Amino acid sequence: MRVWSRTLSGRLCRVSSSFSENMADEDNQSLYNEKNENNRVKTLRDHMNPTRISAPSCVVFPPDESHFNFKPDIIQLLPSFYGLDLENPYLHLREFEEVCNTYNDLNCSMNTIRLKLFSFSLKDKAKTWLQNLRLGSIHAWDEI
């Protein structure tokens, strides 16, 4: 009959009389590897889950951005800009600012509201343009 046991590192091992001594050595080795993260072997889970949570952005948000109360309904009100030759970017910015001015949030500034919502108003070529800007190049709405 096969007997299985789980090591301290979580691995399943078949237990036999001669194997029990080797298993104790393996447990000590795995504990050493868990304490020393530089020597830690990456598991399949580590390779599947990226360490970066989101893509880097060209927009650097002000410190009050964590207090922004996001309401999904406002995205539907935003004008869309596709970056086509026939579209006027200045008209889009004026319409965008009009919609943002109707959104009042006492916890953050209008600068933060505009920076947070601007990427939702861009589509296709215009969105690609924003994503290709240098990282951290926009700190305030006036820079757009």
Where are the chain's structural domains?
Answer: 3-48, 63-143
pLDDT-based confidence at 82, cuts 50/70/90?
Answer: very high
CB 99 within 8 A of CB 79: yes
CA distance 1 to 138: 67
Confidence of residue 58 (pLDDT cuts 50, 70, 90): confident
Distance of alpha carbon 117 from alpha carbon 141, whole angstroms = 11
Mean pLDDT of 47-73: 71
Q: Output the pTM of the full model.
A: 0.57
| Mean per-residue pLDDT over the chain, rounded | 75
Region of poorest pLDDT, from 32-46, 96-110, 129-143? 32-46
Residue 125 has pLDDT above 70, yes or no: yes
pLDDT tens-digit readout, 4-28: 777 777 777 777 655 444 544 544 4
What is d(CA 63, CA 125) in angstroms, rounded to the nearest whole number? 30
Kindly tell me if the per-residue pLDDT of 129 is higher than 50: yes
CB atoms under 10 Å from CB of 21, counted, come to 9
- Nearest partner of 119 among 132, 107, 108, 109, judged by Cα: 132
